[in-house]
A and B are shown apart, each in its own frame.
Chain A
Amino acid sequence: MKFRVDRDVLAEAVTWVVRGLSPRPPVPVLAGVLLQATPEGLTLSAFDYEVSAKVTVAAEVDEPGTVLVLGRLLAEISRSLPSKPVEISTDGAKVQVTCGSSRFSLQQMPTDDYPTLPASPDASGSIAGDVFTQAVGQVSIAADRGDTLPILTGVRVEIEGEKLTLLATDRYRLAMRELSWNPGAPDASHVALIPARTLSDTAKALGASGSVEIALGTAAGGDGLVGFEAGQRRATTRLLDGEYPKVTSIFPTSVDTTAVIGTASLTEAVKRVSLVAERNTPVRLRFSEGQVAIEAGTGDDAQASEAVEATLTGPELEIAFNPQFLLDGLNALGTAYARLSFTQPSRPAVLSGQSEADGDADESYRYVLMPVRFAS
């Protein structure tokens, strides 16, 4: 095997392919990246039974062949190489990587034991890359990062025809995004629970492409997998198994008070004030006519306060939030204005975005946040 490849192309491809690999794979060969040189170019693949990734890039192939080398090591090497063409060739049991005057000699891993990647699935439909990336980013922030209830570490993806709904919650907040996509069939109907971390990584990596194809259900080569494809990149991920909690009653059916605030000014103010909020202590928001007063800190501790202009509809209200949870939601909005809807200070608040101060709320994204309660 012998081929030459552009240094940046190699670095980006290897980095993407190995990014999801478990740092402690169940068997050693799963730490490898498979390089397949063919007359069509260079295909890189990685698979650890949970996630798989595969990308084909342009390369000048002198001798076709297949080798398996340590994935993370090759990624680190390729990122540190000078910006010159990279030549990779086999030499007995070794793989030689040459770039300018740099030379690396890597151990080949046995390809016989390497598992076959999940079959390349047929798409269930497609979606614009940038839209997909934004939607996944908005929702995955609310997924649980802990290990207490594995089901909550996922993003729930529901497809009904042209409607795609993404939802995640860690019990303290819930994020839901509804958007349109292009289903392969008008009656497409799927529900899948995709690990949030993997989905988020995949969406970021594929978002630069014009269109992302998504394969679910039997299209993904058997239940329990979801496949993504954009350009020359393909990825599969094992789905989470289990019953996702039913969340329909979390969205309040009525609203007593709404406040519309400039997203950037509220975000900045909350960030500043929460500097005095020690770990997990809340920020208090007091909404009154024309403004919201934001405060943190109590008693002997440091205190801070700031007022931000707000348009209030309905009764005045004082409510407290974990500052990070509030900021996560504000950062995810992506709109000039934030609309907060309340019933009572002890009940969940709903955050959504809108483009104009006096316009309508854009409810395609909703972030439901449980307030902090004080001892009475």
Chain B
Amino acid sequence: MVGVRARASILHLDLDAFFAAVEQRDKPSLRGRPVIVGGIGTRGVVSTASYEARAFGARSAMPTSEARRRCPPGTAFLHPRFQAYRASSRVVMDLLHDLSPVVEQVSVDEAYVDLAAPGTHDLSVAGVRALVADLIDRIASATGGLTASAGVASSKMLAKIGSDLEKPHGLVVVEPGRELQVIEPLSVRVLGGVGPATAERLKSFGVITVADLQRMTLPDLVSIFGESHGHGLHRLARAQDDREVEVERETKSISAEETFDVDVPDRARLDSELAAMVTRVGGRLGQSASFARTVTIKVRHHDFTTHTRSATLTHATGEQAVVLDTARRLLAEVDVSDGLRLLGVGVSGFTSHAQDQLAFDEVDEPDVPATPEPSASREPAPESRPSAPSWRTGHDVRHDELGAGWVWGAGRGRVSVRFEGPRTGPGAVRTFASDDPALHPADPPDWRERPDVSG
């Protein structure tokens, strides 16, 4: 049996090179050029590479240092601007919700939509193709030109494979009954659950394509990969996937973590990192309109050993000071003398009500806001935090006289800013002292033409 649906009614939508595409939209001088978004420190990894950068071999999850070797001079390496990505993502998700009430958002740039849910769409192959082609057009015009790729099929698995087949700006509708024909010639890597290790293992048995995998017997697969994984592979090879589109993926935890450029043994520095992360986590907890009972910290030592420690509070809290106190106690029990590569903090165990604490006069003042943080580096995007430099490459700024721009480069007490935006042509670069009082961090620019409110 292939899938449970008789019609291609599950849409998988994936925004193409999303972070890089938003950067190229907001920074006209980068359009058509290789762009890498990610951690750009010595230990960073690539979040997204633009298609121009992919041509040189840059890939997401690749160490940024390797991407630097592969890409030509003139490649832009940018810190992520999550606030900007979220704003565009919201516009896209709203368009998906216009199509169907059943939307399962997988991440900021990816979602499944159940097109059968409203009961009003024409679910013939031609009807679905027209519907989704129109959706992709509307996404492009609503987001200032971002492109999306879509797959529509009778199962989530095939929809996702479909959306990847003609990327970027692709649309594949897998005709019901032709699912196996679509996947058989493809590499086993297209199957969810086949990672590099499994693929390598399969290759040693001569299995390269899905069709090869179909020829493996179930007992053989189980003997090689174990009961659960073996059965899984056997099913995947036959495109058997009856997972439904789930409206809401319940949030089970909220967390933040920071990888350091060099191992950090300094407790004062770790404490300020912890406080900054708690601020971000607490902010997101506030947005989610719930409270948490469990606080967890994650530490990675210099030798890559990774530990988590958690504490459960008697009463759920929404207060950052309580989360920070608890996280600090957990961190105090960790030996950091050899330095930490990574520190993270998270909250879980959500409830709809919280027992707040009494506010003591001073000893218990929440010290989150008091955390020393260079004012110039105040980072509007919650997920990203300055570790050392005040101005981070790629981030938005505003100059009192020259207007909006972005940090083109910074260091040695200087900061270079390119003054341009999504609705301007490529702009010029000007250099300032890092502490120039006319220069301020700014929110992401709006790509939409808006009526002039001042009249």
- Chain A residues with CB under 8 Å of chain B are 146, 148, 169, 171-174, 243, 245-250, 280-282, 320, 322, 325, 346, 348, 368, 370-376
Contact (Cβ within 8 A) A373 B358: no
Contact of B361 among A172, A173, A248, A368 (CB under 8 A): A248
Q: Which residues of B contact A148 (CB under 8 A)?
A: 325-326, 329
Shortest Cβ gap from A329 to chain B (Å): 13
Q: Which residues of A contact B290 (CB under 8 A)?
A: 375
Contact (Cβ within 8 A) A322 B355: yes
Q: How many A-B residue pairs have CB under 8 A?
A: 72
- Chain B residues with CB under 8 Å of chain A are 289-291, 314-316, 318, 325-326, 329, 352-364
A173→B360 CA distance, assembly (Å): 11
Interface of B is mostly: loop
Contact (Cβ within 8 A) A280 B358: no
Q: Nearest residue in A to B352 (C-beta to C-beta)? A: A375
Contact (Cβ within 8 A) B353 A370: no
Interface of A is mostly: loop
Contact (Cβ within 8 A) A171 B357: yes
Q: Which residues of B contact A320 (CB under 8 A)?
A: 353
Q: Which residues of B contact A246 (CB under 8 A)?
A: 360-363
A282→B314 CA distance, assembly (Å): 14
Q: Nearest residue in B to A348 (C-beta to C-beta)? A: B358
A22→B129 CA distance, assembly (Å): 77
Q: Which residues of B contact A281 (CB under 8 A)?
A: 353
Q: Which residues of A contact B364 (CB under 8 A)?
A: 171, 245
Q: Which residues of B contact A371 (CB under 8 A)?
A: 356
A258→B290 CA distance, assembly (Å): 30
Contact (Cβ within 8 A) A372 B353: yes
Contact (Cβ within 8 A) B357 A172: yes
Shortest Cβ gap from A83 to chain B (Å): 44
Contacts known (A280-B315, A282-B353, A374-B353); A171 close to B358, Cβ less than 8 A: yes
Contact (Cβ within 8 A) B354 A373: yes
Contacts known (A174-B358, A245-B363, A322-B355); A373 close to B315, Cβ less than 8 A: no
Shortest Cβ gap from B107 to chain A (Å): 24
A249→B364 CA distance, assembly (Å): 12
Contact (Cβ within 8 A) A376 B289: yes
Q: Which residues of A contact B314 (CB under 8 A)?
A: 146, 280
Instruction: Pick the most buried of A169, A172, A281, A375: most chain B CB atoms within 10 A of its CB.
Output: A375
Q: Which residues of B contact A372 (CB under 8 A)?
A: 353-356
Q: Nearest residue in A to B354 (C-beta to C-beta)? A: A373
Q: Nearest residue in A to B317 (C-beta to C-beta)? A: A373
Q: Which residues of A contact B360 (CB under 8 A)?
A: 171, 245-247, 249-250
Shortest Cβ gap from B88 to chain A (Å): 27
